Structure 1
């Protein structure tokens, strides 16, 4: 005979499927911090020392130079001094902040994506340095070529737009497109710098003779080429974050050394050997403005 239990097993066979396991959970990754290491900190201190020595050298080169011929010495000394102060602020750790962006983490086809924040150290003092020091570099190029005040001012303002655009892009959100929008604005500002300095400088420097023209052409091509390297390095390091912070510091340190100590020494040594490179505002620079013009106006009235 067949027992009732066997009948039940034939009519209702036991399920061969396994019981469902627990639903897998995804824990988001913790916040990622991209900070400068020992190599980066040492590089900042080395550049601070180099810029401080450069400032002292530029000041000593102007020691026996008459005040009327000391315009380039003053601008290059201030250029190096501003950079030295900026590097001191960065080396001591009081001139940076974190720029955080969400990063997508993929966990496979059957699991939802998660996001975590990637916070990178951004040295805001670097942009202040570039805004002041590199503007003085452009001022030197315009003074050497004899560019008029209107185009000199426009070149400096265009350069400030480039730096402010870079600063905004460093903190802008990548997902909304703000970052690359500011990058385009910064690049357009640089093109206007080339327009005002390169085009108008080429026209005005011809009146100063062949030696000044040759010097200005060499300095302007060198300077504008180095300045063009900044946006390229900036897009790869700060914006796209393809390198670590240490590499970013080293890249900018090399560019800053080329645009400050190298440019300044080149200009001062060459200027001393070419007397016709003196600028036309030497009288105003050493003696100030005269009151004779105001007296003549009152006499006419």
Structure 2
């Protein structure tokens, strides 16, 4: 079993960060009794719990494998993709529930997301040639762009019908995901799994910062105001603005 090298420090920081985030969200939601509000805390806690387990597996060498591509040996953290396969749909579900979008929109978002992660994993594990790896990266990135389009378009239309503070929170969380998720394929293509311009140490650090921001940071912004969650779980639509 291959063991992580100097990049393991970033994996342990990721483990600690996700664990602290999980404990913080548990504390924030401890006294919540409203069942609709509870779902936001439960989902967000599971996001950080799954990510913490993933980072722990990578830090201890379990979530790591080696492949040979064009005569070079690449370290592939497959546990990272396992993490994303579960946590990114949950992030989208958090946001979709906040905006109260319909089931078809939720299914479209999660379907595109799963397709994006799976094709990205295929790209990471392809051994035939670098060209094939880049082709799969292109497919995964195209899925991401479609996903972000539906994320902004579909959720914005529904969020416009929500109270102003909820609409503002949806827009903020949309912005967080759009900016951070666009950065992921950039890190991939310049890192060891892509063109190899960035060493594994720096690549691991970059993914760790993105993961903490996209999971703990997202959750902190989502759960920081219970008054906004009160408005979000109120089934009444936003009052029309007077002329």
Q: What is the CA distance between 1:215 and its match in structure 2?
A: 1.2
Write the distance in 1 (CA, Å) between the matches of 2:102 and 2:12.
Answer: 39
CA contact (8 A) 1:98 1:122 kept: yes
* Residue number among 51, 63, 83 corresponding to 1:95 in the alignment: 63
* Contact kept in structure 2, 1:86 and 1:126, CA below 8 Å: yes
User: What CA distance in whole angstroms lies between the structure 2 residues aligned with 1:212 and 1:121?
Assistant: 42
- Mind listing any 5+ residue stretches in structure 2 that lack a counterpart? 236-243
Q: Which residue of 2 aligns with 1:213?
A: 167
In the TM superposition, residue 49 of structure 1 has moved relative to its aligned partner by 1.3
* TM-score normalised according to structure 1 size: 0.73
Matching of residue 65 in structure 1 with residue 32 in structure 2? yes
Equivalent residue number for residue 5 of structure 1? none
SS at match of 2:74: strand
Aligned residues: 231
The equivalent residue for 1:236 is 190
Q: Aligned equivalents of 1:77 and 1:192: distance in 2?
A: 27
Answer whether contact 2:130 2:194 (CA < 8 A) is retained. Answer: no
Q: Secondary structure at the match of 1:70?
A: helix
SS in 1 for 2:211: helix
Preserved CA contact (<8 Å) 1:158 1:192: yes
Shift of 1:219: 1.1
What's 1:151 paired with?
105
Q: CA deviation at 1:35?
A: 7.5
Q: How far apart are 1:67 and its partner, in Å?
A: 4.0
Superposition pairs for residues 1-301 of structure 1, below 5 Å? 36-38=4-6, 40-68=7-35, 69-102=37-70, 117-173=71-127, 175=129, 177-237=131-191, 238-270=193-225, 272-274=226-228, 275-278=230-233
> Tell me, what secondary structure is at the counterpart of 2:224?
helix
Segments of structure 1 that go 5 or more residues without pairing to the other structure are 1-33, 103-116, 281-301
How has the CA–CA distance of structure 1 residues 35 and 243 changed in structure 2, closer, same or farther, with 3 Å as cutoff? farther
Distance in 2 (CA, whole Å) between partners of 1:241 and 1:35 is 20
> How much has 1:151 moved relative to structure 2?
1.0
**TM-score of the superposition, structure 2-length normalised?**
0.90
How much has 1:192 moved relative to structure 2? 2.2
Deviation at residue 36 of structure 1 after TM alignment: 4.1
- Name the CA distance, whole Å, in 2 between partners of 1:176 and 1:72: 41
- Where 2:160 maps in the other structure, the secondary structure is helix
Residue in structure 2 matched with residue 30 of structure 1 by the alignment? none
Q: Please tell me whether the aligned partners of residues 4 and 61 of structure 2 are also in contact (alpha carbons under 8 angstroms).
A: no
Q: CA RMSD in A?
A: 1.7
Is the Cα–Cα contact under 8 Å of residues 143 and 279 in structure 1 kept in the other structure? no
Which residue does 2:238 correspond to in 1? none
Q: What's the offset of the Cα at 1:174?
A: 6.0
Inter-partner Cα distance in structure 2 for 1:240 and 1:252:
16
Structure with the higher fraction of residues in helix conformation: 2
List structure 1 segments (4+ residues) > 2 angstroms apart after TM superposition. Answer: 34-38, 173-177
Q: 1:176 to 1:95 in 2, by over 3 A?
A: closer
